[in-house]
Structure 1
Amino acid sequence: MPFDLGATVRLTADCLDPDGAPTTATSATVTVALPDGSTVTPAAAETGTPGRYQADYVTTVPGRHTVRWVWSGPAHAYTDMFDVREATPPAIMSLATARRHLKKTDTADDEEIRDWIEACTRAVEQFVGPVAVRTITETAHFSTARSVALTRVPALSLVSVATLRPGGPSYTVDDLLLDPDTGLVSAVTGGILYGPLRFTYRAGRVIVSANIRAAAKIILQHLWRTRQGPGRPQRGVDDYDVTEPLPGLGFAIPNRAVQLLDPDSLGPEVG
């Protein structure tokens, strides 16, 4: 499961001799490759179990990390990975809400539920655009235009705009008008915009309607059923029926959830 940004990851691995038996090595080194291309080498030490080594690493950047263990005396190596969430990952519901909907009375499955919440959020947002409010930066590639369409809507507000044309005109957010529903940006004066421009803006929904919240719960319940394993129902019944795959989502979205999301759907182009 992904780790939270700033959390300590306990890295463990076994040093094996050529026969595959755990053994104490002369030296052990662990290197963590970060998503930004940098590397760190936390101190590695053998545990109370012969041949088993561990190192603690405090996460500093979100994304996928690669872990490389190398031992000498005997020579052995092992590669692994782990993921780190962004500081505020988009979430369509709280852990408490998800736990209550899945009828969980303890915290044993919390980390797995959090993972499914993120997957559920992504699925819902493919239909209705951003739900969880976040800041987005994107570049609009154009020469001249009366208006420019931001790709993620609802777009709540512009944070900043930067021109990428050498010697081109500069703009401030006060120079521009934003239509939250369409994401169209135009000049206050009604004049021509000169691109390309890099926009930073806030997108999402300040109020999440009941139909979106209900659809998210149905999707979460449907996805949670995949844990049941072979030989048990996978598609469910009634509200959890899936009669046909959806582009990019396959059988992940039950019919009832699609119907609930339909009033707010932005069309198949939403990603």
Structure 2
Amino acid sequence: MPFDLGATVRLAADCLTPDGVLATAGTAAVTVTLPDGTTASPAPTETSTPGRYRADYVTAAAGRHTVRWVWTSPAHAYTDMFDVREQAPPAVMSLATGRSHLKKTDTGDDEEIRDWIEACTRAVEQFVGPVAPRPVIETVRFTRARSVALTQIPALALTGVTSLRSGGPAYTVDDLVLDPETGLVEAADGGVLYGPLSVTYRAGRLVVGANIRAAAKIILQHLWRTRQGPGRPQRGVDDYDVSEPLPGLGFAIPNRAVQLLDPDRLPPVVG
């Protein structure tokens, strides 16, 4: 399961002889490669069980990390990985809400539930755009236009704009007008815009509609069923029926959830 940014990851690995027997090594080293390619070398220590090693690493960056263990005398190596969540991962519901909907009375499955909530958030947002408010940096490529469209809608507010055109006009947020529902940006004076532009803005919803919240719960319940193993029907005549696959999502979204999301579905991309 992913770790939270700033959490300590307990790394563990075994030093084995060529015969597969645990053995104390002459030297032990562990290297963590961060998403940006930089590395860290936490100090490994042998546990009370000879040949079993561990090291603690405090996460400092979001993304995929690679872990490389190398021992000498005997020569052995082991490679593993772990993921780190971004500082504020978007979530369509809280852990408490997800736990309650799945009728979980303890915290034993919390990390798996968090993972599924993040998965169903992505699924919901494929239909309705960003749910949790977040900053977006987008390059809008055009030469000249009366209006340009941002891709992440609803777009709450513009926070910055930079011309990427050599010698191009310098715009400020006050020079532009944003339509939150469509993401269209126009010049406040009604003139022509010259691009390309790098636009920083906030996208998402200040209020998440009840239909979106209900759809997310149905999707979460539907996805949670997959952990119950084969034999549990994935199609039926209830809220979790899936009659046909959806582009890019397959059978992950039940019909009832699609119907609930329809009122807020993003307009089709033209062109």
Fold match, TM over 0.5? yes
Count residues with an aligned counterpart.
270
Moved over 6 A (4+): none
Q: How does 1:143-158 map to 2 (within 5 A)?
A: 143-158=143-158
Q: CA deviation at 1:236?
A: 5.2
Partner amino acid, structure 1, of 2:142: F
> Letter of the aligned partner of 1:224 in structure 2?
W
2:232 matched residue in structure 1 = 232
Q: CA deviation at 1:36?
A: 1.0
- The Cα shift of 1:161 comes to 0.6
Once the two structures are TM-superposed, the CA of residue 141 in structure 1 deviates from its matched residue by 1.0
Query: Which residue of structure 1 aligns with residue 12 of structure 2?
Result: 12
Q: Which amino acid aligns with 1:238?
A: D
The aligned residue for residue 82 of structure 1 is 82
TM-score by length of 2: 0.98
CA distance in 2, matches of 1:237, 1:85: 36
Is the CA contact 1:215–1:258 (under 8 Å) kept in the aligned structure 2? yes
Deviation at 1:37, TM superposition (A): 1.1
Does the Cα contact within 8 Å between 2:225 and 2:232 map onto a contact in 1?
Answer: no
- What do residues 229-255 of structure 1 show as CA deviations (whole Å, max 9, x unaligned)? 122223454000001000000000000
Cα 1:182–1:247, aligned 2, differ >3 Å: closer, same or farther?
same
1:256 aligned counterpart, secondary structure: helix
| Unmatched tracts of structure 2, length 5 or more | none
Corresponding residue number in structure 2 for 1:165 = 165
Deviations 1:93-122 (A, max 9, x none): 000000000000000000000000000000
Contact 1:130 1:152 survives alignment (8 Å): yes
Question: Aligned letter for 2:109?
Answer: D
Q: Classify the secondary structure of the residue corresponding to 1:238.
A: coil
Cα distance between partner residues in 1 of 2:269 and 2:208: 21
Distance change (3 Å), C-alpha of 1:54 and 1:111 = same
CA distance in 2, matches of 1:140, 1:146: 13
> SS of the counterpart of 2:132?
coil
1:100 maps to: 100
Contact 1:222 1:235 in 2 (8 A): no
Q: Which amino acid aligns with 2:51?
A: G
Per the TM alignment, residue 198 of structure 1 is displaced from its structure 2 partner at its CA by 0.4
Give 1:211's aligned residue. 211
Instruction: Give the 5 Å matches for 1:179-258.
Output: 179-235=179-235, 237-258=237-258
Q: Does 1:26 pair with 2:26?
A: yes
Aligned position for 1:119 = 119
The 1:269/1:246 distance shift into structure 2, 3 A limit, reads farther
Q: Secondary structure at the match of 2:114?
A: helix
C-alpha spacing 1:236/1:217, structure 2 compared with 1 (3 Å) = farther
1:68 alignment partner, SS class: strand
Inter-CA distance 218–165: structure 2 relative to 1 (3 Å threshold): same
Kindly state the Cα deviation for residue 206 of structure 1 after the two structures are TM-superposed: 0.4
Deviation at 1:143, TM superposition (A): 1.0
8 Å Cα contact 2:234/2:240 also seen in 1: no
Alignment of 1:40 onto 2:33:
no
CA-to-aligned-CA distance 1:29-86 (integer Å, 9 cap, x gap) = 1000000110010101111111111000000110000001111111111110000000
Give yes or no for contact 1:228–1:234 (8 Å, CA) kept in 2.
no
Structure-1 separation of matches of 2:91 and 2:81? 24
Amino acid at match of 2:189: T
Instruction: Give the Cα–Cα distance (whole angstroms) in 2 for the partners of residues 24 and 190 of structure 1.
Output: 74
Deviations 1:202-250 (A, max 9, x none): 0001011110000000000000000011222234540000010000000
Q: Match of 1:53?
A: 53
